[in-house]
Amino acid sequence: MVCQVIRVAVAGASGYAGGEALRLLAGHPEVEVGAVTAASSAGARLGYVHPHLLPLADRVLAETTPELLAEHDAVVLALPHGASAALAAQLPADVLVLDCGADHRLADPVAWKTFYGSEHAGTWPYGMPELLTGATSKQRDALVGARRVAVPGCYPTGISLALAPGFAAGLLEPADVVVVAASGTSGAGKGLKANLLGSEVMGSMSPYGVGGVHRHTPEVEQNLTGAAGEPVTVSFTPTLAPMPRGILATCTARVRAGVTAAQLRDAWQQAYADEPFVVVLPEGSWPRTSDVLGSNVVEMGLALDERVGRVVVVAAEDNLTKGTAGAAVQCLNLAFGLPETLGLPRTGVAP
């Protein structure tokens, strides 16, 4: 364990991801919150922008500059896609940079170009420690001591963890994976859009990004391909649910001939037996997003539908915690050699 406190800056602190990073960092026993920066909100009191962050209420948002950020041990970038690469390039190599944006997640420049439309900024270690990268290996190894981390997208977190055990164990067909996920509205950010008004979203479900065009699709495929050792393709449809937080991902894949329910359950349980933040629920139990509200945990349940030859895995997470800021803090712990669970809640706020 390091002997002195770790000073962490948050860039893009006025948004929902930045706010959640601050909530977790403010309660982390080895961290001191340093600079909090923003763009259009620079100059505002944090108590005005995030009234729920009482202990930081008197902090004032500064302009986001590389000079200011560089004075810290670690920097959380909670910026719009495309904004982090240029900034990160100006930060010293020994400062830990945790990019909550997508800029450095994809290894394939073609996939990047197809889904994001801009030039590829290069690939950083992917911040999902529990992700199987083969039959037994996990992504964690790449994160210990890292100084650049691409924090995963919110949807890919639940989806990839939900399906990777089956692919890593060779139990699933790589084609015809279908995922439908429901997200709380904070996943759509704090930007002012008519379809995100409370009057529009309360009491309503709606889809978006239909037809395989959501940008998290190639990220999921990359993760599952890594676990499977062969190309996996995914049909992914996101929907917007009338709740502020939470993702429920319903993930199905065809099982290979002869695969049994017991084999499936074994594979999932083995994959996550020692993981503090991934829970495979007992048979017949299913996750609820409310149970992981504010917690860094992904909960999942699974069942085999023998009639149609598909496994169905349903995973719940908090899109802002394990889906974004919690993953960033978890990677910070790994990067600095701290206990991986430090400062990260394993209880949800329910009901």
Annotated catalytic sites, by residue? Answer: 154
**Site for its own copies (CB under 8 A): which residue of 66, 80, 229, 242?**
242
Q: Please, what is the minimum distance in Å from the beta carbon of residue 45 to its own copies?
A: 9
Residue 288 burial (CB < 10 Å; 0-12/13-18/19+)? middle
> Looking up tokens 């529009």, which residue turns up?
200
Q: Please, what is the minimum distance in Å from the beta carbon of residue 137 to its own copies?
A: 26
Q: How crowded is the C-beta side of 61, counted as CA atoms within 13 Å?
A: 24
Q: Which long-range contacts (CB under 8 A, 24 or more apart) does 140-144 make?
A: 140/334, 143/331, 143/334, 143/335, 144/334, 144/335, 144/337
User: Running DSSP on this structure, what letter comes out for residue 151?
Assistant: P
Q: Please, what is the minimum distance in Å from the beta carbon of residue 135 to its own copies?
A: 26
Q: What is the amino acid identity at position 318? A: D
Q: Which stretch binds its own copies (CB under 8 A): 79-87, 91-99, 228-236, 325-333?
A: 228-236
The CA-based dihedral angle spanning residues 164, 168, 172, 174, taken in that order and rounded to the nearest 10 degrees: 80
- Which residues inside 165-184 make contact with its own copies, applying CB under 8 A? 175-176, 178, 180, 182, 184
- Which residues inside 56-85 make contact with its own copies, applying CB under 8 A? none
Strand partners, 139: none
Reference 122, options 139, 110, 105; nearest CA is 105
Q: Can residue 228 be called a binding residue for its own copies (CB under 8 A)? A: no
Q: Which CB atom, from 53 or from 88, has the smaller least distance to its own copies? A: 53
Q: Please, what is the minimum distance in Å from the beta carbon of residue 83 to its own copies?
A: 20
Q: Please, what is the minimum distance in Å from the beta carbon of residue 15 to its own copies?
A: 10
Q: Can residue 136 be called a binding residue for its own copies (CB under 8 A)? A: no
**Site for its own copies (CB under 8 A): which residue of 289, 324, 330, 333?**
289
**Contact map string, positions 21 to 40, toward its own copies, x by CB under 8 A:** --x--xx-------------
Q: Can residue 263 be called a binding residue for its own copies (CB under 8 A)? A: no
Q: Can residue 89 be called a binding residue for its own copies (CB under 8 A)? A: no
Q: Can residue 4 be called a binding residue for its own copies (CB under 8 A)? A: no
What Rg, from alpha-carbon coordinates, does the chain have? 19
